[in-house]
Amino acid sequence: MKSMPSSTQPDYICRISELLRPKIGVAGLVLDLFAGCGGLGLGFESAGFHTIGFEMDSDCCATYNANLAGACQQEFLTPQTRFPHADVVIGGPPCQPFSVGGHQLGLKDSRDGFPAFIAAVDQLRPSLFLFENVRGLLYRNRWYLSEVVAQLEQLGYIVEFTVLNAVDFRVPQNRERLIAVGHKGGYQFPKPSHSRVNAGEALGDSALEAPEDAKYLTESMDAYVARYERASQCVNPRDLNLQKPARTLTCRNIAAPTGDMHRIKLSDGRRRRLTLREAARLQSFPDWFEFHGQETSQYYQVGNAVPPMLSYALAQSVKSYLETFAPLDEQEIQSRRQPVQAELLLEQ
């Protein structure tokens, strides 16, 4: 993918290009499981951690290895996988235990990444671990989150979780994610920033132009979009509003022409799909970050990623924790755990 010359880059992109450069990893060693293209890993590297990635998809590994300082190993993770020592374990384990023909298999579902994640924490006993997942895990599938938290607590951690919106961390997109952190006392989630970045600040004025590689919606797709918006009683048109942060990017709504897809309406009335670089910018990837693989694979890597700017804020919070780390004893850990568990039960 071509990156634009820096003279044509909006200020926001210039700033994140520098901020998100991987630094020499003196803050600690991070094991990045289910690493994808490295969105989560990049935020940790730019905060000064050294990363080692594990990921089963070859395109993702190629992207990770081309852009991050740490190496990503292509491997299908299971509870039996052996890992090198690490100070911190992070990851976005896939969790699909909810729709197996009505059988809620939870941790027994073979496609579920959590057993491998929990086994890695058990094996390495890091100072801290962090996982991210869809926000729905906190609501409809809370039984499953409870199961995961209970297993991780048994390993001697306080497990706290919250929903963070990437838009509060200088990402030009509303994107809520469940973030869970296991620690030994004293960790604090990053504080939201008060200023927000609009889509237009990341895409620049050229967003309303027609780039060479743009793909236009056909008349029948326009008609489909209109029907979709009527049927879903959509109040605001779903075309990108450059004056606001973008709505959530997903693999589906950036990679495929669906009624819900991300698109820009040009002044002549035509609609075009987001280019890959635009989607990457709305996820706060710098322009120097190059994606590998076929086009659909690249869109999936972008759609699956943790926005690096959100990850950078998380990494700073982990760094502060490690710098002041004074583990509590088991009794104190027990007493701090109770409010989280009580809150879980209350909201069920």
Ligand X SMILES: C[S@@+](CC[C@H](N)C(=O)[O-])C[C@H]1O[C@@H](n2cnc3c(N)ncnc32)[C@H](O)[C@@H]1O
Contacts (CB under 6 A) with ligand X, residues 77-116? 77, 92, 94, 113
- Of 151 and 297, the one with the shorter C-beta distance to ligand X is 297
* 60 is annotated as an active-site residue: no
Residue the block writes with tokens 């009624």: 259
Are 245 and 199 spatial neighbours (Cβ–Cβ below 8 Å)?
Answer: yes
| Min separation Cβ 96 and ligand X, Å | 9
Q: At what angle do helices 308-323 and 11-19 cross, to 10 degrees?
A: 40
Cβ-based neighbour number of residue 140 at 10 Å: 9
3-state secondary structure of 168: helix
| Min separation Cβ 345 and ligand X, Å | 28
| Min separation Cβ 34 and ligand X, Å | 3
The tokens describing 43, both together, are: 């935020």
90 forms bridges with which residues in the sheet?
32, 130
| Min separation Cβ 47 and ligand X, Å | 14
Cα dihedral 243, 244, 250, 251 in deg (nearest 10): 20
Total chain residues near ligand X (CB under 6 A): 19
Site string for ligand X, 240-279 (x = CB under 6 A): ----------------------------------------
Determine if 126 is a binding residue for ligand X (CB under 6 A).
Answer: no
Are 117 and 91 spatial neighbours (Cβ–Cβ below 8 Å)?
Answer: yes
Contacts (CB under 6 A) with ligand X, residues 275-304? 304
3-state secondary structure of 180: strand
Residue the block writes with tokens 């280019």: 275
173 forms bridges with which residues in the sheet?
246
- Of 225 and 317, the one with the shorter C-beta distance to ligand X is 317
Segment interacting with ligand X, rule: CB under 6 A, options 35-43, 117-125, 172-180, 249-257: 35-43
CA distances from 77 to 33, 109, 123, 152, 210 (A): 8, 14, 14, 18, 42
Site string for ligand X, 40-79 (x = CB under 6 A): x--------------xxx--x---------------xx--
> From the candidates 14, 95, 234, 251, which is the catalytic residue?
95
Residues that bind ligand X (CB under 6 A): 34-40, 55-57, 60, 76-77, 92, 94, 113, 304-306
- List the catalytic residues: 95
